[in-house]
A = this chain, B = another copy of it.
Amino acid sequence: MNAPLRIGIAGLGNVGASLVRLIARHGNELAVRCGRPIEITGVSARSRNKDRGIDLGHAAWFDDPAALARDPRNDVLVELIGGAEGAAHAAVAAAIAAGKRVVTGNKALLAAHGMELARQAEAANVSLNFEAAVAGGIPIVKTLREALAGNTVNRIYGILNGTCNYILTRMEAEHLGFDECLSAAQRLGYAEADPRFDIEGHDTAHKLALLTAIAFGTEIDAGAVYVEGISSVTSADIEAADELGYRIKLLGVASRTESGIEQRVHPTMVPKSSAVARIDGPTNAVAVEADFVGQLVLSGPGAGGDATASSVMSDIADIARGNRVGTFGRPASHLDPYRQAGIRKHEGGYYIRLAVYDRPGAFAAIASRMAERKISLESIVQRRRAARSDAPGHLIPVEPAPVILITYETTETAIREALRQIKADGQIVGEPQMIRIEPFA
Contacts and interface: CB of A to CB of B under 8 A. Distances in A.
Interface of A: 18, 22-23, 25-26, 29-30, 32-35, 131, 137-139, 142-143, 146-152, 217, 275, 278, 290-301, 304, 306-307, 309-314, 316-318, 321-326, 329-330, 334
Contact of A323 (B293, B304, B325): B325
Contacts of A151: 26, 310, 313
A150 B299 contact: no
B29 A317 contact: no
Nearest to A333: B32
Given A34-B149, A131-B147, A150-B26, A300 B293 contact: yes
Contact of A146 (B152, B307, B318): B318
8 contacts: A18-B292, A26-B152, A150-B316, A150-B317, A151-B313, A291-B306, A294-B306, A295-B301
A323 B326 contact: no
A297 B302 CA distance: 12
Contact of A329 (B33, B138, B311): B33
Ranked nearest first, the 9 interchain pairs of A and B with the lowest CB-CB distance are A150-B313, A139-B147, A149-B317, A323-B323, A296-B300, A293-B310, A292-B310, A137-B293, A292-B306
Contact of A307 (B294, B300, B324, B334): B294
Contacts of A318: 146, 323
A26 B147 CA distance: 15
A143 B137 CA distance: 11
Nearest to A288: B300
A292 B22 contact: yes
Contact of A296 (B138, B148, B152): B138
A252 to B, nearest CB: 19
B323 A307 contact: no
Contacts of A148: 139, 310, 314
A316 B137 CA distance: 26
Given A23-B150, A149-B314, 9 more contacts: A26-B152, A29-B217, A33-B329, A34-B149, A143-B143, A150-B316, A150-B317, A278-B278, A293-B310
B293 A306 contact: yes
Given A298-B298, A299-B275, A321-B324, A149 B30 contact: yes
A284 to B, nearest CB: 11
A151 B30 CA distance: 9
Given A275-B299, A294-B307, A146 B313 contact: no
A139 B148 CA distance: 9
A323 to B, nearest CB: 4
Contacts of A217: 29
A19 B298 CA distance: 24
A314 B147 contact: yes
A309 B150 contact: yes
B325 A321 contact: yes
A297 B300 contact: yes
B22 A150 contact: yes
Given A143-B139, A278-B278, A297-B298, A310 B30 contact: no
A169 to B, nearest CB: 12
Contacts of A307: 292-294
A121 to B, nearest CB: 15
Nearest to A316: B150
A310 B294 CA distance: 9
Contacts of A300: 293-297
A194 to B, nearest CB: 27
